[in-house]
Amino acid sequence: MNYAETLAYLFHKLPMFSKIGEAAYKKDLTNTIALCQAMGNPQEQFKSIHIAGTNGKGSTSHMLAAIFQKAGYKTGLYTSPHLYDFRERIKVNGVCCSEEFVVKFTERIQPEIERIAPSFFEITVAMAFTYFAEQAVDIAIIETGLGGRLDSTNIIQPELSIITNIGMDHMNLLGNTLTAIAGEKAGIIKPNIPVVIGEVLPETLPVFLAAAHSSSIHFAADTRYIHDWLYQDGCLQMTIVDRAKNEYLHIESDLSGFYQTKNVLTVLEACAILAKAGWAIDLNTIQTALKQVKALTGLYGRWETIQTSPRIVLDVGHNEDGIKAILAQLDLTNYNQLHWIMGMVKDKDSQAVLALLPSSAHYYFTKASIPRALDETILQEQASQFQLKGEAFPNVNLAIEAAKANASPNDLILVCGSVFVIA
């Protein structure tokens, strides 16, 4: 098979969560363990950091990868889903794995695919771990796909575990309460391995404390806080205070969304723990890396401006907490009229999201080109129940063209609601 034929095989042969949802979710680690055993257990051949959370885990992963790259380490990065190219999921020092590797790996693992019928995600995890082992990375930053306890990535023994936050998402798989969801995410905590918690709630604190009974647990907000911040030259500039030392430090991030302040605090706490463990990470490296996360790692879709006059912003926020963060960002943004392009998937709580949205915006309801996408006319009908008015479009590009035609130079066009719409 060539590369195109290999991707067609992977996309059509294997159950893919982004396409079909819950039916593709395998609720144990058996297949991943079998796949990795067939490849010589590559997950045991490199060091790693494991990151879970409802929101922010992708940004946090990319920030840490940028820092390790700038520190001179050969750094693997595994994230999902991809936006444009499948190989975005598997990178070393910001460079996607080669097409040749994807083809050769698939040929090697094909007998196991036929034997155990794994999911698409299980295959991509085994592929990533194999690539990182072959590339002899110094460290790999591993983002969970969904949950934690039963996530396919949860066969590694990391240097550090990180849980960014807990919110209401994937309730059909992870549970209907914050406590239940926290229990699933806390499943990545390993005995005697430190864990950083980015945000904690009264409902989740007991869960984390119980899960970390033999591990040191660190709450990012207990150590540092954001003293002040501003936007300048396309960057989010922050003054951060170390509570114990009463020291001030200046951090700039090219990830300009205000919600990144929470992720930066999580990353700083993680770096402090890793530095104590012997990793050569200093403040200057951190400051330099965070200014150029996009260039170093290829992160997109986080309050990303792709056009000015009118300004068009993309954001992968897609659940209740993600939309709340976007709304907070809008309060800090200057514009005349808001044009909101929205697409969602069927298994998200669209009602909870729509209830948050401002009725003053003009809406363009659309959908991604995946079977799991919620039909744009259904989304439009649901939105009308919340006095949200707008037209329906069968794809996002038609929606964008309509918004651009209607928008004045000082208006804002926002595209969000589904990672796959952004893709």
Residue 234 within a domain: no
Residue 411 within a domain: yes
- Could you report the per-residue pLDDT of 386-413, keeping only the tens digit for each? 999 999 999 999 999 999 999 999 999 9
Distance CA 128, CA 123 (A): 9
- Could you report the per-residue pLDDT of 286-326, keeping only the tens digit for each? 999 999 999 999 998 888 999 999 999 999 887 888 899 89
Distance CA 302, CA 55 (A): 11
What pLDDT score was predicted for residue 172? 53
Residue 70 within a domain: yes
CATH of residue 403: 3.90.190.20
Residue 214 within a domain: yes
Count of CB atoms within 10 A of residue 175's CB?
A: 16
- Could you report the per-residue pLDDT of 92-111, keeping only the tens digit for each? 999 999 999 999 999 999 99
Residue 252 within a domain: no
Are 141 and 24 found together in one domain? yes
| Bond into 358 cis (ω within 30) | no
Encoded amino acid at 163, one letter: I
Are 193 and 62 found together in one domain? yes
Are 211 and 329 found together in one domain? no
3-state helix, strand, coil in the chain (%, to 5): 40, 20, 40
Residue 373 contacts residue 345 (beta carbons within 8 Å): yes
Per-residue CA distances from 24 to 117, 173, 188, 244, 385 (Å) = 11, 11, 21, 46, 32
Average pLDDT over residues 135-162: 95
173: confidence class by pLDDT, cuts 50, 70, 90: low
Q: Structurally, how many domains does the chain consist of?
A: 2
Residue 237 within a domain: no
Cα Rg of the chain, angstroms:
21
The total number of residues shown for the chain amounts to 423
Distance CA 57, CA 25 (A): 19
What pLDDT score was predicted for residue 420? 84
Q: Which of 189, 205, 221 is the last residue of a domain?
A: 221
pTM for the predicted model, two decimal places: 0.90
Q: Which of 221, 238, 272 is the last residue of a domain?
A: 221
Torsion, Cα 327 329 331 332, to 10 degrees, reads: 180
Residue 18 contacts residue 421 (beta carbons within 8 Å): no
Residue whose C-alpha is closest to residue 21's, from 325, 278, 397, 370: 370
Range of the domain at 14: 3-221
Query: Would you state the structure tokens that stand for residue 303, as one six-digit string?
Result: 């309050």
Helices (H), 158-282: 171-174, 178-185, 205-211, 220-223, 260-276
CATH of residue 69: 3.40.1190.10
What pLDDT score was predicted for residue 21? 46
Whether residue 17 has pLDDT greater than 50:
no
Per-residue CA distances from 34 to 37, 39, 113, 130 (Å) = 5, 9, 10, 13
| Top-confidence range, 53-62, 170-179, 314-323 | 53-62
Whether residue 174 has pLDDT greater than 90:
no
Are 209 and 313 found together in one domain? no
Per-residue CA distances from 30 to 26, 117, 151, 318 (Å) = 9, 12, 11, 30
Whether residue 170 has pLDDT greater than 80:
no
Are 14 and 157 found together in one domain? yes
Residue whose C-alpha is closest to residue 74's, from 126, 125, 134: 134
Q: Which of 221, 236, 270 is the last residue of a domain?
A: 221
Are 72 and 201 found together in one domain? yes
Whether residue 15 has pLDDT greater than 80:
no
CA angle 369, 346, 393 (to 5 degrees): 45
